[in-house]
Structures are given as structure tokens and as C-alpha cells.
Amino acid sequence: MRVLHLFKTYLPETVGGIEQAIYQICQSGIAHGIESHVLTLSAKPEPRDLLLANHHVHRAKLDVQIASTGFSYSLFRRFKALAAEADVINYHFPWPFMDVLHFAAQIRKPTVVTYHSDIVRQQHLLKLYRPLMHRFLGSADRIVAASPNYLETSEVLARYRDKTTVIPYGLDKLSYPLPSSARLARWRQRFGSRFFLFVGVMRYYKGLHILLEAIKGAEYPVVVVGAGPLELELRAQAQALGLDNVHFVGRLGDEDKVALLQLCSTLVFPSHLRSEAFGISLLEGAMFGKAMISSEIGTGTSYINLHNHTGLVVPPSDPLALREAMRTLWDNPGLAAQMGRRAEQRYRQLFTAERMGRQMAALYRELLAEERLPIGVGARS
């Protein structure tokens, strides 16, 4: 079975939660006989085609970007050619230009829309896009949401509950490198073995400004891994607040990131807006057996992190509540360790790549089986 995935950005050029989710879907499908191809945009699309791990990546030239939406003239032809060779098309929402591609190419293949997030920030543009969006989502055979929490709180998904399936994102722990003892020792010497850790791209919805406010005057060490558009602003805020216990280490390679995940005592994830639809970095914390602190924003973050079970969940945009949660776990290391063990157990039960791959493969096969039904018994006419 050949599945074509479509999204505006992808590895290795860009790194983020959606890219990681697509990667894990592609890799976990191999055990189920799925050959995965990803079509994406790139500012420098040479080579146009490459092999990433065990799946294929095809890149078209990004011509212009408006309001976080990439456009490409050459993508029309590339998409139509690759779609003709695919058994199933898996779109990754949101990307308005993708909707246009779908209808321009007159796709007649089984289609799945992985619904990563509502459109939260561009509300004015959403008013213009909404008719096309609903036409596109209405045309899809299946929609996949990553958590029951998001399905329950999304006004858009409420219109498509009858064809929406919840399949949580999963991670393969074996795909993460094992840090050397020397690398662990280097980070331990720098930060010790008790600190709060944030991992992520510094975007507007990550709530890092709230975290900095929360630790003003506290002594808890916080290590911030990542880069992004708000990095200079956040560094300036930390300096203005006089925070000498916050350590910005920039974007790191996977081995260094894993070393810090192993060493930290708690993962703190202060995202405060629904743009944070799931939280791959939060799930990485659970995978490595760490207690978590997150905010209640009605998304998958509170499906990964269960309040008073795998960690603590606080109101969004509330520095005092976040500070109190950090104090609780800092002062009670035994409780943090216990929550971490529960978090890892929950990861093994619900969030492995193997489980996700099995569920996605079953969904694809179900669609193909429906496609083969005689006309009048559910197949396309």
C-alpha cells in the first residue's frame, strides 16, 4: 500500500511537532506494509527527492508565503503525479493551499485528513477561508484527531464527528539515540540532576513568557531547549527580570536533548493557547518517565498529562499557579518520581508508535476495502 502525505513543511528542513508526528506515522507504517511518501514545500528544494530513514520525501519550490501559508505553482503538477501513484492520500491540516490542490487535482482516491489543530491566530483570514475549509473537510473520507480532548472542544470537528476517529500520536523510543556517559556527565556537571526542562520551538503559543514570570524570585533551575522567532524577546525578558536560574541552551541535537530529558526532574510545558493541539515534547517527557506540568487548554496536552496522576495541570496564563505547581514538585521529589513512573506507563499504554501505526494501517485498509465495494454498497460512484 502506498500512502502520500501532504503538508507545507517537513524534515529535515523544519523541525516541529507536526513534522515529528508525520515522521512517526510514516516509519510506524513500515511494519504494516505501507510505503510512505511525503510531499512538502522548500525554499531550497534541491535535492527534490530524498530518502529520510525509510520513507520518501518530495519537495517543491516555495514561491511565496502569506500568513503562514506557503504557495507553490510547481506543486500542482507534482501533487497530481504523486497522487496518481498513491492508494491513499493523507492530508495534514491546516494548510489552506492544500485544499485548493485537492480540488484542482480532482482527487478520486481515498482521503484521510489528520487534523492537527484548529486555526487559532488568523481569525480574520479564517472568515474568508471557512467556506473552502468546510468544503474540503466535508469531502474527506475520514478525519483523524490526536486526542478525545481536542475532538470534544473543537467547534470545527463537531460538524464531522460521524467520520472522525481518535488516533493518538505515538513515539518510538528506540528511534531516539542513547546518550553516551560522557555526554550525560557533561550536562550533569553543568546543571546537576534536578532541574525543570522545557523543550520546544519558541513560538507565540508556547507560554515561555509565563514561565519566566513564574520563576521570578525562585531558585528552581530551568533549562530551556530550543530556538524560534521569540528567542531574542524571551532572552531580553529573562535579563530584565534578573533571572540567573534560567539557562537558554538553544536548539540541540537529539543525543543532547535525550541526555537532558534523562537528567531532568520535571518537564514544564506552559503552552497557553489552543494552537498547542497535542504536545510532542510533552509526550517525550512522559516517554522518559518524567513528571509533567502543563496548562488546561482543552487539547491533547491534558490527555497526555493527567492532573494529580502523571503531573500537574494548571490554568493557562497564570504565573502564580505555574509557580505553585513547580514548588510542589520541587519540594516533593518522591511525588515527582511517582508521577513520572505513571507517565511512562501511560505512554506505553496509549502513545507508542507501534500502536499508532497499527491503528493508522487499519484505517487505511478500511478505506481501501470500502473503495472496492460494488457501486450502491458504499463505494465511490
Say what the pTM is.
0.91
Q: What is the three-class DSSP state of 77?
A: helix
Residues of each domain in the chain carrying CATH 3.40.50.2000:
2-172+353-371, 177-350
Q: Which residues contact 106 (CB under 8 A, 6 or more apart)?
A: none
Please report the pLDDT score of residue 67 as a whole number. Answer: 76
Strands (E), the chain: 2-6, 35-42, 49-52, 55-61, 64-66, 69-71, 88-93, 111-115, 142-145, 164-166, 196-199, 222-225, 246-250, 266-269, 291-295, 311-314
The CA-based angle 166-341-278, given to 5 degrees, is 30
Q: Residue 99 is which amino acid?
A: D
Residue 76, strand partner residues: none
Homologous superfamily of 2-172+353-371 in CATH? Glycogen Phosphorylase B; (3.40.50.2000)
Chain centroid, CA 351 distance in Å? 13
Q: Residue 67 is which amino acid?
A: A
Homologous superfamily of 177-350 in CATH? Glycogen Phosphorylase B; (3.40.50.2000)
C-alpha cell at 271: 503552552
From first to last of its 381 residues, the chain has per-residue pLDDT tens of 999 999 999 999 988 889 999 999 999 999 999 999 999 999 999 999 999 999 999 999 999 988 778 899 999 999 999 999 999 999 999 999 999 999 999 989 999 999 999 987 777 677 888 999 999 999 999 999 999 999 999 999 999 999 999 999 999 999 999 999 999 999 999 999 899 999 999 999 999 999 999 999 998 999 999 999 999 999 999 999 999 999 999 999 999 999 999 999 999 999 999 999 999 999 999 999 999 999 999 999 999 999 999 999 999 999 999 999 999 999 999 999 999 999 999 999 999 999 999 999 999 999 999 877 554 443 443
Q: What is the three-class DSSP state of 148?
A: helix
- In 3D space, the residue among 174, 183, 115 whose CA is nearest the CA of residue 149 turns out to be 115
